[in-house]
């Protein structure tokens, strides 16, 4: 199981700009649910609160109103039931790929041979078994993010939270990682909530797309593409892809829904 629910989640914070205090409503009564095994994309213009929503779900930021629940249990701070994939992977530079994956597992209390074997298993899952002893600076951007995904998956969370995980990668690497993510999802069945600013990515990967604007959920859109989607090149050519992409684009740009 792994169902994430946002219930009236609000987040307000103050900024001091040139001596004046500005109140920013980063999230304004956000409501949506990510069902078990589903992939949901959070999309919207920068500053719309999508990353804040993800951070609140992770427990890195506290909401000022409402609550987030995972399988009905309210989120208070970070927990092993959620695994976070950071925008720039954020591997610890002094640890090897293997040790980075082990770090998360150790925090969960795992040790001994089980620790090594589990870390190895997840590195193999992301295709990095051969590179397990390399340190982050010896890995390419795509490999780093694979390790980041392995690190989050290894602790076997109920939900994978991803903050623009492929945003910093070049186009080709991004495409192969998108395909790999779908493959991982097909194999592990994890619930995934991911933030992106890339329309194509949202439509290619997600089952549903939550469009945010100024801290509010503007619209939740279904993606009428069946799973599995083994060949994203084929998906790109489907009329449903183009249609959905256009609908999301319109929704983001003028707030109007196209029917």
Partner 1 sequence: MADIVDSSKAGTTPPAEPVERRPLPRWVITLASIAVMLTLWEIFGRRVNPVFGSYPSAIAVAFWDLAVSGQLWSALYESLRPFVLGYGLAILIGVPLGLFIGGFRTAEAALGIYVTAGYAMPLVALVPLLILWLGLGFAVKVAVVFLMALFPICINTWLGVVAVPKTLIEVGKSFVAPDLVILRRIVLPATLPYIMAGIRLAVGRAVVAMVIAEFFTTISGLGAVIINSANNFDTATMFVPIIILMVMAIGLNWLIGFVERTVAPWQAEIAGRERE
Which CB sits closer to partner 1, 19 or 93? 93
Buried b (16+ CB within 10 A) or exposed e, 233-253: eebeeeeebeebbebbeebbe
Which CB sits closer to partner 1, 84 or 202? 84
Inter-residue contact 33 to 57 (CB < 8 Å): no
Which CB sits closer to partner 1, 75 or 248? 75
**Contacts with partner 1, 128-147, as mask; x by CB under 8 A:** -------x-xx---------
Indicate if the alpha-carbon torsion angle 103, 105, 109, 113 is positive or negative: negative
- Site for partner 1 contains 80 (CB under 8 A): yes
Among 3, 71, 90, 120, binds partner 1 (CB under 8 A): 90
Write the Ramachandran bin of 5: left for phi over 0, alpha for psi from -120 to 50, otherwise beta: beta
SS3 of 144-190: the string is HHHHHHHHHHHCCCCEEEEECCCCCCCHHHHHHHHHHHHHHHHHHCC
- Site for partner 1 contains 258 (CB under 8 A): no
Which CB sits closer to partner 1, 82 or 185? 82
- Strand-pairing partners, residue 21, are 16
Window of 44-52, 77-85, 122-130, 184-192 that interacts with partner 1 by CB under 8 A: 77-85
Among 12, 35, 108, 208, binds partner 1 (CB under 8 A): 108
Secondary structure (3-state) at 65: strand
Binding residues for partner 1, rule: CB under 8 A, are 58-60, 77-80, 82-84, 86, 88, 90, 92-94, 103-104, 107-108, 135, 137-138, 155
């Amino acid at each position: 199981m792994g169902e994430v629910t946002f219930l009236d989640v609000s987040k307000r914070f103050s900024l001091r700009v040139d001596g004046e205090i500005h109140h920013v409503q980063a999230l304004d009564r956000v409501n949506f649910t990510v069902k078990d095994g589903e992939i949901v994309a959070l999309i919207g213009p920068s500053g719309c609160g999508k990353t804040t929503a993800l951070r609140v779900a992770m427990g890195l930021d506290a909401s000022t109103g409402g609550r987030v629940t995972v399988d009905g249990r309210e989120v208070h701070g970070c927990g092993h039931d959620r695994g976070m994939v950071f925008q720039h992977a954020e591997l610890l530079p002094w640890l090897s790929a293997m040790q980075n994956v082990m770090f998360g597992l150790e925090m969960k209390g795992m040790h001994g041979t089980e620790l090594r074997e589990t870390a190895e298993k997840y590195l193999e899952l992301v295709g990095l078994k051969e590179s397990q002893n390399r340190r982050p600076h010896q890995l390419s951007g795509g490999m780093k993010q694979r390790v980041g995904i392995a690190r989050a998956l290894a602790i076997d969370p109920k939900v994978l939270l991803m903050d623009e995980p492929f945003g910093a990668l070049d186009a080709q690497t991004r495409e192969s990682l998108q395909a790999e993510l779908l493959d991982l999802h097909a194999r592990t069945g994890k619930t995934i909530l991911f933030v992106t600013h890339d329309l194509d990515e949202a439509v290619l990967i997600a089952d549903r797309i939550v469009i945010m604007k100024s801290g509010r959920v503007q619209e939740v859109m279904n993606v009428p593409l069946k799973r599995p989607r083994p060949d994203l090149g084929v998906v790109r050519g489907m009329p449903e892809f183009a249609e959905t992409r256009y609908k999301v684009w319109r929704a983001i740009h003028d707030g109007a829904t196209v029917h």
